[in-house]
Homo-oligomer: A and B are copies of this chain.
């Protein structure tokens, strides 16, 4: 955490999205002090969610964990909590039912989030994660869910890695903009072959086939003025020196996104 914060501050990066694991390891209060003292903002906290358990105990545990995530976001001073909805419970084949449980969880959590000044940001994940990670697979689905709630309470995350393949995404980005729903904008490139488990194979900016600049222009045209987060889940990248990866991310952003 200190290396990340120092690196961002030194490079002139004004804001950083944080993940709960490292935040908890370093301590939420300590992280908040560290980030603040470096003049850095926290753009979002990633992630809450995993709402799709069908049994009461699983459901209660998920809600408790999300209340904790909301508190952590508030401690960090970010107004955006990214939500990954969760996959299908074992043996369950009812995607529509699982998606409805996501809506139920949002209804439960929005008052608590509002009281903490936190907006819930529903992230559609690529359809290859629909079974085991996120039953919300398209921007249209995420907006269908988000629009059941006030825009200031529930937004959506636009992540190029998850949405690039969808030929309806231009229209859905315009819809998201018109209704003020874009809560976060995340960037990664699509590279193949995908690794086993398909979790840690995202590409550095410019390494793959996503028209990243097109996405930036579209979210800006849709009225989004918030930060762009470079989020590259990639075991190869993680094994490298953090300062080098940060420098490359900045170069990649300037060259392929701006």
- Residues of A bordering B, CB below 8 Å: 88, 92-96, 99, 126-128, 130-132, 137-138, 141, 164-167, 190, 192-198, 208-211
**Contact, CB under 8 Å: A128 / B95:** no
B126 lies within 8 A of A192 (CB) = no
A49 to chain B, nearest CB (A): 17
Question: Could you say how many copies of this chain the assembly holds?
Answer: 2
By beta carbon, the residue of chain B nearest A162 is B127
The CA-CA distance from A165 to B195 in the complex, in Å, is: 21
The answer to whether A92 and B209 touch across the interface, beta carbons within 8 angstroms, is yes
Q: Are A128 and B126 in touch, CB under 8 angstroms?
A: yes
17 contacts between A and B (CB under 8 A): A96-B167, A99-B167, A126-B127, A126-B128, A127-B128, A127-B165, A128-B198, A131-B192, A132-B193, A137-B165, A137-B167, A138-B167, A141-B167, A192-B197, A193-B198, A194-B196, A198-B198
